Structure 1
Amino acid sequence: MSGGDQQVSPDAFLAMGREVIASQPFSVLIGAELHALSRGYIELQVPIFDKLKQQDGFAHGGVVSYLADNALTFAGGTAMAVPVVLSEFKINYVRPAIGERLIARARAVHFGSSQAVCTCEVFAVQDGEEKLCALAQGTIARLPDPSQKST
């Protein structure tokens, strides 16, 4: 998501975010759903089905990590309003992700012209109750302008 988004209606902004998710083959493969998007904030969800579980029946850590990765990047990218990439993140798994659905909520905590620091909470939903299963923090970096050649 890039410049000019401040003038876009909330519904149009969400629709643009959904187009980005739809253009990511892995996101489509696991059924990712964008539920909320505003400048510096996102809610991304994934239904938990058998192929996304590990041997003990929990959602695989890679799926939880995917949610944190994508949510952090969206939060930073929408806050900075420029093309971005996740440059690093840390995740703490605090409880097994057991349930029917995972919800990631991320927000930009601080951002400037070249990077953003974002936080994310990932919840597992079982019988309508959300339980925190992971916390993540990451740094989102502005992509270089393609017209600027590096040496």
Structure 2
Amino acid sequence: MTVFEARQTGYADLTRGFLQSMPVFRTLGLDIASVSPGRAEISMTITTGLTFDGTHVQGGIVGALLDIAGGAAAMTLTGEGHGIATLGFETHHLAPAGGEYLVAVGRVIKPGRNQALSLVEIFACHDASRSLCATGHVTSRWIALPDRG
């Protein structure tokens, strides 16, 4: 596994702040489990409002979680004053996304000068068991953030 170095100090706090500022992050009830250079783990409690049948998370919501986890992994490698924007993502559903909560693990597999490609795995968790329910890729582009000073 490739080990990355953050391009800016305070990358973890900046990544957390960037994610928590997104209204969709709060709407989906997401939680940041961990961040490290090139990696992010995001969890989502399964509620009835996120499901298509009261039990299993709707596929578009799973795709949104995948997009956010892959983007968060890329965000950890941005330079000073930059955030990320999604250029594209693909989701492959492998099993029903049910249980108590989902955990999305995003890992950058190819960083570039202006963008990064992340691999994301999503696990459906119930009690002590965890099973892979979706996987996919996210391509993120670095973007300059507006000066807030």
Q: TM exceeds 0.5?
A: yes
User: Separation in 1 of the partners of 2:66 and 2:60?
Assistant: 10
| Equivalent residues of 2:102, 2:123 under 8 A apart | yes
Is structure 2 residue 25 aligned with structure 1 residue 30? no
User: Separation in 1 of the partners of 2:33 and 2:45?
Assistant: 12
Partner of 1:97: 97
User: Separation in 2 of the partners of 1:23 and 1:145?
Assistant: 13
Q: How far has the Cα of 1:144 moved from its partner?
A: 5.7
User: Structure 1 residues 16, 142: CA separation in 2 closer, same or farther (over 3 Å shift)?
Assistant: closer
Task: Please state which structure has a larger fraction of its residues in helix.
Answer: 1
Q: How far has the Cα of 1:16 moved from its partner?
A: 3.6
4+ runs of 1 displaced by more than 6 Å? none
SS at match of 1:42: strand
User: Separation in 1 of the partners of 2:42 and 2:28?
Assistant: 12
User: Structure 1 residues 115, 15: CA separation in 2 closer, same or farther (over 3 Å shift)?
Assistant: closer
| Aligned residue identity for 1:21 | L
Q: CA RMSD in A?
A: 2.2
Q: How far has the Cα of 1:31 moved from its partner?
A: 0.9
- Contiguous gaps of at least 5 residues in structure 2: 1-5
| Equivalent residues of 2:7, 2:77 under 8 A apart | no
SS at match of 2:95: coil
Aligned pairs for 1:135-150 within 5 A: 135-143=135-143
State TM-score, norm by structure 1.
0.83
Corresponding residue pairs, total: 140
User: Separation in 1 of the partners of 2:19 and 2:144?
Assistant: 22
Q: How far has the Cα of 1:80 moved from its partner?
A: 3.3
Deviates more, 1:51-60 or 1:24-33: 51-60
SS at match of 2:27: helix
- Contiguous gaps of at least 5 residues in structure 1: none
Q: How far has the Cα of 1:145 moved from its partner?
A: 7.8
User: Separation in 2 of the partners of 1:66 and 1:17?
Assistant: 17
